[in-house]
């Protein structure tokens, strides 16, 4: 009688369970950093969209004489301030996982004149109703952050000075990164 060994292809159940255990362990270590990465990307996307809206308002001001960028609740829009009408396709929204804080708190808008320069919302040419609509003064900074406090999620600050718009990361004190808000000096 001849004994023939037959080689079987495939995994045994033990090999399969070991590989599943290894994959689960790797996933458990990478999932927290992955969720922080997703939140960081959402914060940066909202900040970039707000900067896009500010630039659209500046362009609208140069085109029609007075363009306004307005933040209301969880959204922003660009408005032709003379007609008080929103412009086409110039609006953005963010979800409840993102927090947007405006400084000073009483300001809700930025207005740009026909030269693309920041315009004071308290100008005497505006009625009381227009001042209520566009706020009591121009926004000087906007802070975009995660609504949840999570390690590894870095807020973005948008600084508005004249017609200059700068975005930077709010890194912990002592961080010497060139993209940190700690290193920005405005005249």
Q: How many helices (H) and strands (E) does the chain have?
A: 2, 9
Confirm if 118 and 54 have CB atoms less than 8 A apart.
no
Residue 19 is predicted with a pLDDT of 92
Half-sphere exposure of 73 (CA within 13 A, CB side): 5
| Three-class SS of 116-169 | CCEECCCCCCCCHHHHHHHECCECCEEEEEECCCCCCCCCEEEEEECCEEEEEE
Burial of 47 (0-12, 13-18, 19+ CB in 10 A): buried
Lowest mean pLDDT among 20-24, 63-67, 87-91: 87-91
Q: Is the pLDDT of residue 7 over 70?
A: no
Mean pLDDT calculated for residue range 61-79: 82
Choose between 14 and 84: higher pLDDT: 14
- Going by pLDDT thresholds of 50, 70 and 90, the confidence category of residue 20 is very high
Q: For all residues of the chain together, what is the average pLDDT?
A: 78
Would strands 66-72 and 75-80 be described as parallel, antiparallel, or unpaired? antiparallel
Instruction: Count Cβ atoms below 10 Å from residue 38 Cβ, excluding itself.
Output: 12
Q: Tell me, rounded to whole angstroms, the distance of Cα 58 from its chain centroid.
A: 19
Mean pLDDT calculated for residue range 122-142: 63
Alpha helices in the chain (DSSP H): 13-64, 128-134
Unique residue bearing structure tokens 């037959």 = 6
Specify the DSSP class assigned to residue 16.
Answer: H
Domains of the chain with bracketed CATH: 35-183 (3.55.40.10)
Residue 21 is predicted with a pLDDT of 93
- Going by pLDDT thresholds of 50, 70 and 90, the confidence category of residue 22 is very high
Here the contacts of 23-28 (C-beta below 8 Å, separation 24 or greater) are: none
Residue 126 is predicted with a pLDDT of 53
Residue 152 is predicted with a pLDDT of 78
């Amino acid at each position: 009688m001849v004994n023939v060994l037959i080689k079987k292809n495939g995994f045994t159940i033990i090999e399969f369970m070991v590989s599943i255990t290894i994959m689960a362990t790797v996933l458990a270590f990478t999932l927290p950093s992955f969720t922080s990465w997703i939140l960081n990307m959402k914060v940066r996307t909202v900040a970039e969209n707000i900067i896009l809206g500010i630039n659209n308002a500046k362009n609208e001001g140069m085109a029609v004489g007075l363009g306004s960028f307005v933040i209301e609740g969880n959204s922003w829009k660009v408005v032709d301030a003379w007609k008080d009408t929103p412009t086409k396709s110039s609006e953005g929204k963010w979800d409840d996982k993102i927090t947007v804080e405006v400084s000073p708190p009483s300001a809700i808008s930025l207005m740009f004149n026909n030269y693309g320069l920041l315009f004071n919302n308290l100008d005497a040419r505006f009625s009381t109703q227009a001042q209520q609509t566009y706020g009591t003064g121009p926004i000087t900074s906007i802070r975009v952050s995660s609504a949840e406090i999570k390690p590894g999620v870095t807020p973005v600050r948008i600084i508005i000075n004249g017609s200059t718009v700068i975005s930077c990361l709010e890194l912990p004190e002592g961080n010497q990164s060139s993209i940190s808000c700690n290193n920005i000096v405005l005249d």
